[in-house]
Amino acid sequence: MSLHRELEFRPVADPDDPDDWRPGSELAVVFDAAANMAVLGERLAPGDTIPLHRHRTDEAVVYLAGTVEVRLGGEKYEAQPGDVLLIPAGTPHSMRNTGDVVAEFRATFPSARVDIEYLERNPMPGTEGDQPQPPFAVDLHTGAVSPLDAG
């Protein structure tokens, strides 16, 4: 059990994740060794996009600041502070900051093992012609990254 008040945000520009290159945006990861869940804090820079992707678990997103265009399945929404987005497992989704200020939100997952399958890319410079990497999972307790099996 723990209380997290001051989140440690870091740039979203990781050479190990060439599919989601957003050096103007920031990410904070919150988890507890005793809890099998995770919260990701995001600061999405104006004009930045989280590429279309999906997870094998449900996700809940709470918007705190800014305006975000959300693609969820075949629908588009404009999310604003106070909105809550519930994303069923397997549903493709993406987010784009359509405003002129940083958009901030929290994404909650019911597992400390967070998986992702990219369907589109924000390519790292020099990887523009590459296909999305295979689906993978990150165990936030250990930091281990592993490929996902098909299915």
- For residues 25-36, give the mean pLDDT: 92
Cα–Cα nearest to 57, from 77, 82, 37, 34: 37
Domain assignments of the chain as residue spans, ordered by start? 10-147
- Which 3-state string (H, E, C) describes the chain? CCCCCCCCCEEECCCCCCCECEEEEEEEEEECCCCCCEEEEEEECCCCEEEEEECCCCEEEEEEECCEEEEECCEEEEECCCCEEEECCCCCEEEEECCCCCEEEEEEECCCEEEEEECCCECCCCCCCCCCCCCEEEECCCCCEEECCCC
Per-residue pLDDT at 19 = 92
Per-residue pLDDT at 143 = 87
Q: Can you read off the two tokens belonging to residue 139?
A: 């165990």
Rounded to two decimals, the pTM is: 0.92
Per-residue pLDDT at 23 = 87
- How far out from the chain centre does Cα 44 lie? 10
Strands 68-72 and 75-79: antiparallel
- 10-147 falls under which CATH superfamily? Jelly Rolls (2.60.120.10)
Residue 62 has pLDDT above 90, yes or no: yes
Taking the C-alpha atoms of residue 139 and residue 142, their distance in angstroms, rounded to an integer, is 6
Percent of the chain residues topping a pLDDT of 70:
98
Per-residue pLDDT at 63 = 98
